[in-house]
């Protein structure tokens, strides 16, 4: 891109291991010897033929009686079943995707509810979300965000299939070490945004995409021009109802003109979670409101006759955990071991990022900080561990970028880091922690022709969603960190 701001180590983009293969469940059923040339067992020897015939006839008669009883029971059971009970297609009968009824091409609508922690769907009546779950495919224990579990890094990972170290948005705010320029959530210059987001991939294939808010969607990059009326400039004051109705209006276009990929974004319940934590009544109300918006979307698609044709993928970007004043760690308490000036610190909490000036050895800083934290003399010190970024757990995939600070601190769940002690007191919620914490998980629900009804799949990282969408749209995606075989494990085969 011709700018110093694109500095990311030229590490090849790794993908998830695709070589593991699960053993076929049917293998155990074939464990007995089926080789006709094998030595005869005593029961198969010629001297036992008459008794074998008798046993065979007895088994045949028993089977006939059992089958007759089964048919009689089935008749009585189904003839007395409630006629009003909803009947879903049996997953065992869904071998292929359901055919489109009205649209002439697949359409994927990617919906994000910011900060929707996994489990929130049980905090309030959520009939519409549960309808998508009952008739679609759900990550049974939630969607795993990438680290750091922050809004911009995760939203951009979802649409690029890349970990933050590879797509460049390593935090909500960070500094480029080569130029000193700062990235903020209003930075729309393409030099910051690496990788190829889904809207750009779609445009590369000569197809239409529409984005109603999504981090990175306003960036004019590659073949994506953020077209008028199809790319909305972010405005948090736009009512949720207006956002839903605007997306529904796309389906009034001729079928061949309808964008094949759309995004829809809601700030809730993240907004409330930061203010009151994950357990307040405000969260319950916010979740109910999101469910109402999903209901508005479903109803609108049904009226247009396209609900069963449209693929809806409902996700969040991260979870939420409660924080309070008793769970604070102060960098100023480390003064007996090392002083950490304000201008070294790029972010405090929950992701501690420290970039010492040239001439200061990061190795020495990490050693001194951990010595103090482990001493037992720093309040809550045991709840912070500081690393050189290269020594972070590899599962975090958070090292291969110069934009990542050389020193990263992992904070224990629910704790926060402050520079100095103040009299300010607060209790609320936060995210950004290690993505291994269950509280950071969010939701994944897929509903549409390629998603099996009523299916639960194991939790997975959100970098796999990019390949999921390109597979549904039957287009070639860009290289990414997701597994190319992942869609086969989640989607029904194409019709």
DSSP letter string, 114-169: TT--TTGGGTS--HHHHHHHHTSEEETT-BBPPSS--HHHHHHHHHH---HHHHS-
In the chain, where the domains are located: 107-321+435-490, 325-426
170 or 75: which leads in pLDDT = 170
Task: Summarize pLDDT for 333-384 with one digit per residue, the tens.
Answer: 999 999 999 999 999 999 999 999 999 999 999 999 999 999 999 999 999 9
Per-residue confidence band for 424, with pLDDT thresholds at 50, 70 and 90: confident
Task: At 234, list the tokens.
Answer: 């972010």
Q: Which of 93-107, 125-139, 236-250 has the lowest mean pLDDT?
A: 93-107
Fold of 107-321+435-490: Alkaline Phosphatase, subunit A (3.40.720)
Give the pLDDT score at 423.
79
Does 8 score more than 90 pLDDT? Answer: no
Mean pLDDT of 11-34: 45
Per-residue confidence band for 16, with pLDDT thresholds at 50, 70 and 90: confident
**Domain 107-321+435-490 matches domain 325-426 at the CATH topology level:** no
For 352, which DSSP code? E
What is the C-alpha to C-alpha distance for residues 162 and 312, in angstroms, rounded to an integer?
22
Please check whether residue 429 is in contact with residue 321, taking contact to mean a CB–CB distance below 8 angstroms: yes
What is the C-alpha to C-alpha distance for residues 412 and 383, in angstroms, rounded to an integer?
5
Q: What percent of the chain has pLDDT over 90?
A: 79
48 or 468: which leads in pLDDT = 468
- Report CA 277 to chain centroid distance, whole Å: 21
CATH, range 325-426: 3.30.1360.180
Give the pLDDT score at 256.
92
Please check whether residue 195 is in contact with residue 478, taking contact to mean a CB–CB distance below 8 angstroms: yes
Does 171 score more than 90 pLDDT? Answer: yes
What is the C-alpha to C-alpha distance for residues 140 and 458, in angstroms, rounded to an integer?
6
Task: Summarize pLDDT for 266-312 with one digit per residue, the tens.
Answer: 999 999 999 999 999 999 999 999 999 999 999 999 999 999 999 99
Active site residues: 151
Does 461 score more than 80 pLDDT? Answer: yes
Q: Which pTM value belongs to this model? A: 0.84
Per-residue confidence band for 422, with pLDDT thresholds at 50, 70 and 90: confident
Does 216 score more than 50 pLDDT? Answer: yes
Mean pLDDT of 128-149: 98
What is the residue-averaged pLDDT of the chain? 86
Task: Summarize pLDDT for 60-88 with one digit per residue, the tens.
Answer: 455 544 444 444 434 333 333 333 333 33
């Amino acid at each position: 891109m011709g700018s110093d701001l694109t500095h990311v180590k030229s590490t090849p983009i790794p993908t998830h291991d695709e070589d593991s293969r699960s053993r076929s469940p049917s293998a155990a059923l074939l464990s007995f010897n089926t080789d006709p040339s094998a030595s005869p067992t005593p029961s198969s020897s010629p001297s036992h033929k008459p008794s074998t015939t008798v046993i065979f006839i007895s088994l045949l008669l028993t089977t006939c009686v059992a089958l007759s009883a089964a048919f009689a029971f089935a008749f009585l059971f189904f003839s007395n079943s409630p006629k009003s009970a909803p009947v879903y297609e049996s997953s065992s009968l869904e071998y292929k995707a359901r055919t489109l009824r009205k649209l002439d091409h697949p359409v994927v609508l990617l919906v994000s509810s910011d900060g929707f922690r996994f489990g929130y769907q049980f905090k309030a009546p959520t009939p519409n979300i549960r309808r998508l779950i009952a008739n679609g495919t759900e990550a049974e224990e939630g969607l795993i965000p990438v680290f750091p579990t922050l809004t911009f890094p995760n939203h951009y990972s979802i649409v690029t299939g890349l970990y933050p170290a590879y797509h460049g948005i390593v935090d909500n705010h960070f500094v480029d070490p080569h130029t000193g320029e700062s990235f903020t959530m209003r930075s729309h210059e393409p030099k910051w945004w690496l990788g190829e987001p889904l809207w750009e991939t779609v445009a590369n294939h000569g197809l239409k995409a529409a984005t109603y808010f999504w981090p990175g969607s306003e960036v004019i990059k590659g073949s994506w021009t953020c077209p008028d009326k199809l790319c909305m400039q972010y405005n948090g004051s736009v009512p949720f109802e207006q956002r839903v109705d605007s997306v529904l209006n796309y389906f009034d276009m001729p079928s061949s003109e309808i964008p094949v990929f759309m995004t829809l974004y809601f700030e809730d319940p993240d907004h409330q979670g930061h203010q009151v934590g994950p357990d307040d009544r405000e969260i319950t109300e916010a979740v109910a409101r999101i469910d109402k918006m999903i209901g508005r979307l479903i109803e609108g698609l049904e009226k247009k006759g396209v609900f069963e044709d449209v693929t809806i993928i409902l996700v969040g970007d991260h979870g939420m955990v409660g924080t309070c004043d008793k769970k604070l760690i102060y960098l100023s308490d480390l003064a007996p071991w090392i002083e950490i000036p304000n201008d070294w610190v790029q972010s405090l909490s929950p992701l501690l990022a420290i970039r010492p000036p040239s001439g200061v050895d990061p190795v020495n800083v990490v050693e001194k900080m951990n010595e103090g934290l482990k001493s037992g003399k720093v309040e809550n010190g045991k709840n912070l561990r500081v690393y050189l970024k290269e020594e972070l757990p590899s599962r975090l995939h958070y090292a291969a970028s110069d934009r990542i600070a050389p020193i990263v601190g992992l904070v224990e769940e629910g704790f926060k880091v402050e520079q100095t002690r103040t009299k300010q007191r607060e209790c609320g919620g936060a995210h950004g922690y290690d993505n291994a914490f269950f509280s950071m998980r969010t939701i994944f629900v897929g509903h549409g022709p390629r998603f099996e009804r009523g299916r639960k799949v194991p939790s997975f990282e959100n970098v796999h969603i990019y390949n999921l969408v390109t597979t549904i749209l039957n287009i070639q995606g860009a290289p990414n960190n997701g597994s190319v075989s992942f869609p086969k494990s989640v989607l029904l085969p194409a019709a």
